Amino acid sequence: MSKEKIVLCEDLADIMPPEYQELVETATFGNQDRGWKDIGSSKELIEQHSLCAGCPESIAFRYILASLPAPEDTVFVGSTGCTSLVFPHVAVHNIHSLFGNQNAIASGLKRTLKARFPDVEKDVVVLAGDGATVDIGLDMTMQSWFRQEKFTTICFDNELYANTGGQESGLMQKGFVAKMAPNGKNFEKVRLPEIAREAGCAYVALLTVSKPNRVEQAIKNAIYVAREVGPTFVQLYTPCILEIGKQSMEGLDEMKESESIGGRFVQKEYITEEAQKLLDSIKEETKARKKAAKAKKPVNA
Amino acid sequence: MNKQVETSDRKIIASKHVKLGQKNQKGQTYTDVNDIFYKAKQTPSFLTGSEVIRAAIKIASVGTSVAYPITPQSEAAALIGELYSEGYLDEYFRGESEFAVMGQCAGAAFGGHRVFTTTAGPGTLRAMENFPMWAGSRLPIQVCVTCRGINSPLSIQPDTLEMHYLLETGMLVWHAETAQDLFDFILKGFIVAEQPDVHVPIATCCDGFFVTHTKDTVELPPDDICLTPYDPYRNPQPVMDMETAPIRMMRDPFVMKSNYISYATHASWQQEIKAAVERSRKHTIPLLDGLIDEHNTDREILVVSSGTAVSQSREAIRLLEQEGIKVGLVKIKTIRPFPYEEVRQATKKAKHIFVPEFNVGGWLAREIKACIPDNERVYAGPHVAGGMTMPSEVIVDEIKKHLGMETAEAVSLG
Amino acid sequence: MSNYEVKAGPEAFLPPAAATMGNVLPDPGEAHIGGKLVPEDDAYDLAARKILAAKVPTIFPGPLVLWKWTDHVAEKAKALRELAVEAPMRLIPMADYRPKYPKIIQEYEINPNHPNLTIWHNKIDVCIFIGVHCHMANLSLKIIRGGTSCYTIAMCAMAGHEDACLSFRDADLNMIQKLTAKIKKLKSEGVESQAEPFTQFVMGPSGPLTP
C-alpha cells in the first residue's frame, strides 16, 4: 500500500481511536531511511503487547518494526508462541496459521504477492520462535531455503518453549535442566546459522538484541538480500528471563554476557558473494543519496 | 426456511467481475459460470479422470497450485504442472509433504490467489490439521481428494474412509460419481466456495482409480473461455496484501483471553463457519441441480449412496428390475452441507433403505440414519474396502438377502 | 425447517447462527427483516423508524469505511456522517478486530470479540453495522443478539447478514443516502427522533478532545 493510502477518511477521522490518529500523523511509513532511532520521536508500529515485563522479545519487536525498509508493503508470518500474542497489535498485516508451518505459509504468500503485484516489492518476513523454526517446523524452514524462496526468516531464539512453560527445545544449550529435560539436555544446541548457510541462505546473521543499531542493520540486510538474491535468516537471542530465573531488568545483561567472547551468541554473519555485492551497492547508493539531500538543503535551514 | 431455493432456475447470481468478457494472457475469455455450463456448446471427449482434472483447471483461472506425489492423484497434479508451464497458472511447485503443501496453499490464499491442490488417503490425513485452519481462516481453497485407503496396512487402492475425517473440518465436501461430475464440481466448486457469504474451502472428492484412472465420455465446454477470476476483495476477511484496511490486522487472531467473552468469540467463530457451509446451499442447488438426484423415489426399496457406489447401484437396480424387483435411487452429491431435508423427503415412502459404501466405517449410512424418521429402515451396506470392487451382483444379493428373498449362489466374492 | 425469527435479544447463552436455522440471505434487490425476505425498498422505512424511535441509536463504522483505502470510501464516509447528523445517531468506530489489551474504552470504540460491552455501557438500543468485514460482523451481530436487547441493522456491501435483525445487501453510497432521505422524510411527516440528547465525542491523537 502506498503511504498515501494509509490515511483516514476525513469525515470519520475525528472518531478514530488516538493510536490510529497518531499512526497516520507520525508513523514512518514510506520513509526509506527509517530505523531504530525513530523510536521515541515517531509512532511505533507496535501498539501494545502482553509479554512479561522486561521480556527482550518486546524490545526485539520494536527494533525490527522500526527497521523494516517498507512496512507499508510488508506482510509478516508468525507462528504459535509468545510472538503470536504480540502480532495482533502490530500495524502491518500478519498471519498466524498453525504451529511450525510459517515458512510454508510464507512460500505461498510471497509467490502470490509477486504474481499479483509484479511492479511492487512486497516483503514477506517470517518471525517465529525456536520451537517453531527448528523443532516442529525445521522441515518447512529448510525446504523453503532449498527452494530459494525469496523471503526473510527471523528466529527469536530463547532457547526453550516459553509460552508452554519452559520445555526443552533444539536450540537449548546442552546440559540445561528444563521441563522435559529433567536430567539436563543431553545434546548440543542445534547449529542453525550453519544449517541456514548450507541450506542456501544468501545472508545469515546471529546476534542478540542488546544493540539496536546491529539489529537494524541485520534486518535491513536480510530484507534487501531476500528481495534480490535469495532466502535470508536472522537468529536473535531473546532470553526468556522468566524461565531462566532472571529478574525483569536482567535481560540486557544476559544478552551482553552471551555475546561476549566465548559466549553462545557472539555476533556472526554468513554472506554470499552475490549478497555482499548487493549490500555494498546499497550502501553506496544510500551514501550518495544522503549526500545529495544534504547538498540540496539551504545552508541556514 | 424463509425462502425455498429452487433448482429450476439453474443459475446463480451472475459474476460482476471487472474482467468479465476480457481475455487472459492465453486468449481465453473470462466467462460467467452460468454461461460456461448452460450457454456454451459442450463437446464430448473421452478422457481419464486425471485428464478431466487437467481440463477443468485449464479453464479455472487458478492462481496457485501446489503439488505433492501420492497415488492416485500424482498424474493429475503433474498434468497441472504442464498447464503451468504452458502459462495457464501464475504459480506451481512441488511441496515437501502434504502438511507443508496445504500450508503453502493457505499462504497463497491469504495473499489473494485462487488455489487448487490434490491429495489422497494418507496425504489427506497428514494434511489434516490444515483443513479446519483453512475453514476457520475463511480460505476458499479447493482440494481434489482422490480417495484411497488409509494405512495400516498400506493400500493405494480406492476407499472412501478419509471422507469421514473431512466432515467436521468446516469445509464443503462434495462427492463426484463420474468424471463428468468431477469436471463440473471442480469448476462450480470454485464459484460456490468463493461467494463472499460462503468463502470456505471445498474438498471435491472422487473415488481413486475408479474415476481417476478409467476413461469416460465427458461433455466439455470450449477451452477458449474460462471462469471469471477470483476477486480477493469480495472476502469476509481482509486479504493479507497490505492493500486492505485495517492495516493493524492479524489473520487469525488469538481470541483466547481467559474469560467467558473470549470463549464466546471462539464459539461464535465456529458457528459462523458452520453457517457459511449452510449458506452454500443457496448457490449450490441451482448450479448442481439440487444437492441430490432422485430416481423413482416413490418405491418401497431405495438405494441411497454417493460416489461410484451410485454407479454400481444403478446397474444393481437394472438387474433387480429384470427379476421384477423395483428399486429407487437417491444420489447424494454434497456431503457437506448434508442434504438433510432432501433426503428426508426422498425417503418418505421407502420401507427399506440400502446404503452401499466403499469403506468399513459406514459414515454415509450414519449420516442418513441421523436425519430421517424411523431409521431402522436403513440397512448400512453392502460395504467393501481396501480397494475391493463392489460388483452390482453383491448389491443385488445383499438387498435380496435382507428382504428374505432367495439369492443365487453364483455371486463370487473371491 | 424452522421459521427462525431474528429478533433483538437477549436470546441465549450461545444463540444459533441464523443460517444454521435455515435462514437464507436476500437476493439482489431484496433485504431481510427479522429473517423474512422483503423488497429492498420496504426495508428503508422500518430501518428509519427503528432509528428514530431509539433512545441511543448508533452507527458502528468499520475499517472499510474508516480508512481511505479507495476513493469511493471517502464518499461513503461522508454519507455516513450526514446520516449520523440527520438522525441524529452516535458514531462509535470498530477500528480493527484485535483482542485489545487490557480492554477497550466502551465510550469510544466497539470490538468484535466483545461488542456487548459497548452496547451495555452506552445503553445502545439500535445500531447499524457498516464497513465491517462480514466474518467479523457476523461474530458481533450474534454476540449482540445473544446478550443484549439491541436491534441490529446491517448495511452490508456484499451478500448481507442473517444474524442482523434487519439487513441490506450490496449497500453502496446511494443506499446510505436513501436511508438518510427516508429519515428526513419521516421527520418531515412528524415522526420525531426519540434519541436522548448527546454530543458526539471528538477524538484527538492523544485522547478525547471533548469530555
Domains recognised in chain B with CATH numbers: 29-227 (3.40.50.970), 292-402 (3.40.50.920)
In a domain, A10, yes or no: no
Q: CB–CB of B63 and A112 under 8 A?
A: yes
- Whether A18 is covered by a domain: the verdict is no
Helix H or strand E segment including B65: strand B64-67
Choice among A1-15, B295-309, C24-38 with the minimum mean pLDDT: A1-15
pLDDT of residue A197: 98
Binning pLDDT at 50, 70 and 90, where does residue B7 land?
low
The torsion defined by the Cα of B162, B104, A169 and A259, in degrees rounded to 10, comes to 180
Q: Do A206 and A238 contact (CB within 8 A), yes or no?
A: no
Domain containing residue A276: CATH number: 3.40.50.970
A103-134 pLDDT, tens digit per residue, is: 999 999 999 999 999 999 999 999 999 999 99
Burial class (CB in 10 A: 0-12, 13-18, 19+), B187: buried
Residue pair A82/A130 in contact by the 8 Å Cβ criterion: no
Q: Which of A94, A30, A17, A31 is nearest to A61 (CA)?
A: A94
Query: Which of C1, C4, C20, C69 to mutate: most B Cβ within 10 Å?
Result: C20
Compute CA distances B348 → B294, B298, B371, C3, whole Å: 12, 8, 12, 22
Segment C39-60 shows an average pLDDT of: 98
A21/C204 touch (CB, cutoff 8 Å), yes or no: yes
Q: Is C199 on the interface with A (CB under 8 A)?
A: no
Q: For residue A225, is it within any domain?
A: yes
Q: How far is CA B261 from CA C34, C115, C202, in A?
A: 25, 10, 29
Instruction: Give the C-alpha separation, B234 to B232, whole Å.
Output: 6
Q: How sure is the predictor about A146, in pLDDT bands with cuts at 50, 70 and 90?
A: very high
Residue B352 confidence (pLDDT) above 80: yes
Domain that holds residue C44: 28-188
Q: Do C95 and A88 touch (CB under 8 A)?
A: no
Q: Select from A93, A124, A140 the residue whose CB has the most chain B CBs within 10 Å, as the one to mutate to test that interface.
A: A93
| Type of residue at B242 | M
In a domain, A182, yes or no: yes
B-chain residue closest to A104, CA distance? B104
pLDDT one-digit tens code per residue, A47-78: 988 899 999 999 999 999 999 999 999 999 99
> Could you report the predicted ipTM of this complex, rounded to two decimals?
0.96
Q: How many domains does chain C have?
A: 1
> What integer best gives the mean pLDDT of chain B?
94
Q: In chain C, what residues touch A89 (CB-CB under 8 Å)?
A: 98, 100-101
- Find, in chain A, the residue whose alpha carbon is nearest to that of B251: A95
| Per-residue pLDDT reduced to its tens digit, B59-98 | 999 999 999 999 999 999 999 999 999 999 999 999 999 9
Look over chain A and give the mean of its residue pLDDT values, rounded to a whole number: 95
Residue C70 lies in a domain: yes
Q: Does C22 map to a domain?
A: no
- Other beta carbons within 10 Å of A53: 10
Q: What are phi and psi of B146, to 5 degrees?
A: -95, 90
Q: What is the least distance, in Å, from the CA of B136 to any CA of chain A?
A: 10
The number of domains in chain A is: 1
In this prediction the pTM is 0.97
B249·C66 Cβ contact <8 A = no
**Residue C183 backbone dihedrals phi, psi, to 5 degrees:** -60, -45
CA distance B154 to chain A (A): 24
pLDDT at B255: 80
**Closest Cα in chain B to A126:** B107
Out of C20, C24, C143, name the one closest to residue B5 (CB).
C24
Q: Provide the grid cell at A159.
A: 532457547
Q: Indicate which of B13, B197, B256 best probes the interface with C, i.e. most C CBs within 10 Å of its own CB.
A: B197
Split at pLDDT 50, 70, 90, the class of A294 is: confident
What residues of chain A lie within 8 A of the CB of C99, using their CB?
A: 88
Residue C201: list chain A partners with CB under 8 A: 15
Cβ-Cβ pairs closer than 8 A, A with B, add up to 147
> Which of A47, A92, A112 is closest, CB to CB, to B111?
A112
Q: What cell numbers appear for C210 in the block?
A: 471533548
Alpha carbon separation from C67 to A24, B243, B319, B377 (Å, rounded) = 10, 11, 67, 59
Average pLDDT of the segment spanning B130-140: 98
Range of the domain at A117: 26-295
Query: Where are the strands (E) in B186-228, listed by range?
Result: 202-207, 215-220, 225-227
Instruction: Name residues whose C-beta falls within 8 Å of residue B74's C-beta, 6 or more positions apart in sequence.
Output: none
Give the neighbours of chain B: at least 3 Cβ pairs within 8 Å.
A, C
Q: What is the CATH number of the domain that holds C116?
A: 3.40.50.1220
Q: What percent of chain B has pLDDT over 90?
A: 91
In total, the C-beta contacts within 8 angstroms joining chain A to chain C are 77
**pLDDT: which is higher, A19 or C71:** A19
pLDDT in tens, C79-137: 999 999 999 999 999 999 998 877 889 999 999 999 999 999 999 999 999 999 999 99
Q: Is residue C199 part of a domain?
A: no
pLDDT computed for residue C1 by the predictor: 45
- Residue C8 belongs to some domain of the structure: no
Shortest CB distance from A9 goes to which of C74, C101, C201? C74
Check if the beta carbon of residue B354 is closer than 8 Å to that of residue B304: yes
Q: List CB contacts (< 8 A) between A49 and chain C.
A: 101
Give B278's contacts in chain C (Cβ within 8 Å). Answer: 17, 19-20
From residue A200, alpha-carbon distances to A129, B16, B230, B336, C68 in Å are: 21, 45, 34, 43, 41
User: Which positions in chain A touch C103 (Cβ < 8 Å)?
Assistant: none
What is the per-residue pLDDT for B218? 98
CA distance C32 to chain A (A): 28
